[in-house]
Amino acid sequence: MGVMRLGVVETRVMDLEESLRYYTQVVGLQLTGREGNRAYLKAWDEEDHHSVVLVESDRPGLEHMAFKVRFQDDLDKFEKSIEQYGIKVNRVSKGARMAEGQAIEFKLPTGHIMQLYNEIEKVGNGLKLNPDPWPDNLKGMAPPNLDHLLLTGDDIQSVTDFMTRVLDFHISEQVVSVDGEQLIGTFLFRTNSPHDIAFIKGPDSKLHHFAFHLDNWNEVLRAADLLTKNDIALDIGPTRHGLTRGTTVYFFDPSGNRNEVFSGGYVPCADFTPITWTEDQLGKAIFYLERQLNERFVTALT
């Protein structure tokens, strides 16, 4: 039983048409559905109906994120354990969004809305019978899949406690104050990747970025080239994170939501000894090569 992976990120965008152009042509996601003020997208190697939902709104930001659990029964178990932990849980009905089954929804100690779900329509990736390693007609950055997201909040200790004790996430990395007393950031995983979700100290309920996976450092450069070719705002990169060792480019969707393409990093299991960064090394932890944060890193949140 348990959480398998980050399955869906629902993001508010201010102009759905413009955002769709960006997410389909530049990022290179596939549009799989549209209904009302929402558009549904998937990356090319994903089998489920969608991993990104764009919802038109008057402001950017994260509407909710959803992690996929292995079994439908997991929803009952998590409902119980989350409620026991003291967090209220709601049931979301099947069909609240296109192609999705029932889910449970709750608010993290950092104010973010999280859902857990198991049922979602599979549309497939077309690569299941004597397949080639990659399909034709890929567009843009063409990430194979959604990777992780980073959120800000005031109480990193509490949200980490919840994520690890109730949802059984593992800590890959943490940033602590120099005296070791305060937790400033935690990177958490369920898959064997350096992070499926991460939290850093900042205003509650805010999105720092969500990220797509790329295969390698050459793809990261190609993604960065595409930003300039398409006149999309670059935040930083190509560079390497100290945290996760991954290589990266940060950039912004037309509504100001930060996106990332991410590649590399190690392969942790549940017995991974967490890596600790001290706050005085935060620059290097975030941007290993630059060794300092740019101002936008802490201010550009949605």
Annotated catalytic residues are 148, 195, 209, 241, 250, 260
Q: Which residue of 84, 137, 228, 299 would you call a contact of its own copies, by CB under 8 A?
A: 228
Q: Does 191 bind its own copies (CB under 8 A)?
A: yes
Q: Which of 58, 84, 133, 299 is close enough to bind its own copies by CB under 8 A? A: 133
CA dihedral (242, 234, 54, 22) positive or negative: negative
Q: Are strands 234-240 and 247-252 parallel, antiparallel or unpaired?
A: antiparallel
Part in contact with its own copies (CB under 8 A); list of ranges 31-39, 97-105, 159-167, 186-194: 186-194
| 3-state DSSP assignment of residue 71 | coil
Residue among 131, 165, 182, 203 that touches its own copies (CB under 8 A): 131
To its own copies, the closest distance from the beta carbon of 222 in angstroms equals 9
CA distance 280 to 100: 44
Our CB check for its own copies shows the closer of 13 and 163 to be: 163
- Site for its own copies (CB under 8 A): which residue of 264, 297, 300, 301? 264
Q: CA–CA separation, 117 vs 94, rounded Å?
A: 10
Q: Does 240 bind its own copies (CB under 8 A)?
A: yes
φ, ψ of residue 224 in degrees (nearest 5):
-65, -40
Distance, CA of 155 to CA of 33 (rounded, Å): 37
SS3 83: helix
21 binds its own copies (CB under 8 A): no
> How do beta strands 247-252 and 258-263 pair?
antiparallel
β-pairing, 52-56 with 3-13?
A: parallel
Residues that bind its own copies (CB under 8 A): 4-5, 45, 47, 68, 70, 122, 124, 127-134, 136, 144-145, 191-193, 213, 215-218, 221, 224-225, 227-229, 234, 237-240, 242, 245, 247, 264, 266-267, 269-278, 281, 284-285, 288-291
